[in-house]
């Protein structure tokens, strides 16, 4: 409970510092501020495809190109090395042939297109979906809160189906068919995206995000010797009116006075270069990014637990009894799907049962604050790792005696991990998108995937460290 209270108090400070309207939502100080979109401004901006739609469309075509190329590598014999003989010691066929430069080049091209496509779709699709709701109304705010849950739930269900169905097709039928099916589904998704174009709400971009961040730091460094005004309010600093009716002005906050110096200007002097003078709006956006950094770092340990699951569950299941009845053996690659099943079942339960009940107790539209939800996810991930440790203790002990325990021992940790992911991961997505300004929503989406990537590297370092400490000198790091 103290973890949840601590996260809630931190969230209050963040909401206070980023209050665009000078008040909290619904008059409650503990609820994080929903950054509102003005419906009239949105209707003015809804003509033509702009930033998010263009970027998503471009990324769709790149991803589709990657899927087509990947399918061709499996379908065309010239784009892949010949198959290895099933029994090389008894076969008259030549041994396995190494991949040629053409084979690797086409494969790397497919992977590159897929990575670039995913990099454009994942950070932009979520804020683009949020833009379709009117955050100025209670119905719109509730719709946004539900959208985060269902977005992550449907994504997980898609991964779950691909892990079960596609893996079976690729291993039992054909790799080319296994790649052709998602290629066709990707094409269908692109068609559906363009069919809905006339109905979308589009918000025009405000310019380069990263150049604005760099300008704040450069201007603050150049003005570092200037004294702060006696009253560091927005009226004493450079604070021009925004040219966009969609971007809500951010009030000046007292934190990080070194950055505030970037907005100091001399009365009567002409406007300076943006590399010497920045607006309060731009400075507050950078402050928001800095304030969110600790929350972002706190999410990495939870994803480390997720990465451990993907790293070891398959290896553990290879040493366990995977028989289901007398005629079926569970493939090792499918065992991790239990976690996705748990997440897919938990999110609808959370939205339909938990949120309405919590809303009556807390008077919060989302039931809980996003930081409370993240804290609960961290707590459940700890419990999941405790269950994982007990399962590994049982598996290793029996394995050293030549006994295989049932793979069902892995189910509790995987189900708990699915619940933890439904709490923490969705809470992170919602938190980032609520805290960042409208034109920095892609950064908000990118932070989530950056934390996942960082956790993968941390997991790799952790595995290497444990192996060096427990293996070697006649000791076995695993059994």
Evaluate if residue 325 carries a pLDDT over 90. Answer: no
Displacement of CA 456 from its chain's centroid (Å): 13
Q: What is the structure's pLDDT at 376? A: 92
Strands (E), 190-295: none
Could you tell me which residue, 55 or 352, shows the higher pLDDT? 352
Residue 100 has pLDDT above 50, yes or no: yes
**What was the pLDDT predicted at 193?**
87
Confidence of residue 384 (pLDDT cuts 50, 70, 90): very high
Digit-coded pLDDT (tens) for 150-192: 887 788 788 888 877 887 787 778 888 889 999 999 999 899 8
Q: Which of 34, 54, 20 is nearest to 202 (CA)?
A: 54
> Average pLDDT in the 260-268 region?
77
Mean residue pLDDT of the chain comes to: 77
C-alpha–C-alpha distance, residues 332 and 407, integer Å:
10
Residue 135 CB partners (closer than 8 Å, separation 6+): 34, 35, 36, 37, 141, 144
Indicate the pTM of the whole model: 0.68
Residue 457 CB neighbour total at 10 angstroms: 12
| Res. 383: pLDDT tops 90 | yes
Is the pLDDT at 96 greater than 70? The verdict is: yes
Mean pLDDT over residues 57-85, rounded?
86
Burial pattern 38-65, b for ≥16 Cβ within 10 A else e, equals eeebbeebbeeeebbbebbbebbebbbb
């Amino acid at each position: 409970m103290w973890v949840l209270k601590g996260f809630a108090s931190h969230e209050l400070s963040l909401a206070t510092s980023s209050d665009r309207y000078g008040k909290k939502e619904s008059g409650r100080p503990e609820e994080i501020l929903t950054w509102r979109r003005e419906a009239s401004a949105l209707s003015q901006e809804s003509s033509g495809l702009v930033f998010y739609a263009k970027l998503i469309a471009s990324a769709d075509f790149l991803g589709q190109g990657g899927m087509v190329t990947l399918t061709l590598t499996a379908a065309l014999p010239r784009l892949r090395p010949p198959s290895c003989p099933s029994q090389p010691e008894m076969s008259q066929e030549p041994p396995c042939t190494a991949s040629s430069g053409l084979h690797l080049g086409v494969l790397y091209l497919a992977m590159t297109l897929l990575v670039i496509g995913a990099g454009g779709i994942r950070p932009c699709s979520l804020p683009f979906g949020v833009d379709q709701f009117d955050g100025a109304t209670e119905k719109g705010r509730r719709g946004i809160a539900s959208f985060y849950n269902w977005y992550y739930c449907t994504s997980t269900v898609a991964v779950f189906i691909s892990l079960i169905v596609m893996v079976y097709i690729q291993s039992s039928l054909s790799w080319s068919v296994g790649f052709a099916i998602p290629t066709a589904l990707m094409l269908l998704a692109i068609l559906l995206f363009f069919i809905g174009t006339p109905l979308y709400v589009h918000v025009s971009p405000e310019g380069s995000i990263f150049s604005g961040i760099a300008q704040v730091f450069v201007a603050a460094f150049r003005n570092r010797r200037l004294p702060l005004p006696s009253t560091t309010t927005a009226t004493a600093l450079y604070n021009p009116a925004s040219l966009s009716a969609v971007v809500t002005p951010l009030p000046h906050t007292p934190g990080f006075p070194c950055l505030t110096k970037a907005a100091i200007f001399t009365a009567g002097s002409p406007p300076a270069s943006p590399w010497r003078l920045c607006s309060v709006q731009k400075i507050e956006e950078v402050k928001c990014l800095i304030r969110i950094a600790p929350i972002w770092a706190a999410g990495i340990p939870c994803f480390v637990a997720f990465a451990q699951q993907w790293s070891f569950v398959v290896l553990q299941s290879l040493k366990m009894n995977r028989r289901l009845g007398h005629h079926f053996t569970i493939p090792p690659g499918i065992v991790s799907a239990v976690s996705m099943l748990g997440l897919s079942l938990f999110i609808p339960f959370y939205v339909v049962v938990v949120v309405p009940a919590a809303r009556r107790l807390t008077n919060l539209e989302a039931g809980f604050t996003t930081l409370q939800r993240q804290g609960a996810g961290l707590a459940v991930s700890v419990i999941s790792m405790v269950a994982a440790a007990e399962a590994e203790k049982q598996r290793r002990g029996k394995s050293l005696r030549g006994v295989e325990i049932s793979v069902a021992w892995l189910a509790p940790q995987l189900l708990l991990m699915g619940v933890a992911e439904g709490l923490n991961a969705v809470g992170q997505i919602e938190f980032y998108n609520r805290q960042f300004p409208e034109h920095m929503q892609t950064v908000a989406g990118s932070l989530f995937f950056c934390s996942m990537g960082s956790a993968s590297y941390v997991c790799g370092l952790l595995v290497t460290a444990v192996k060096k400490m427990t293996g070697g000198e006649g000791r076995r790091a695993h059994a």
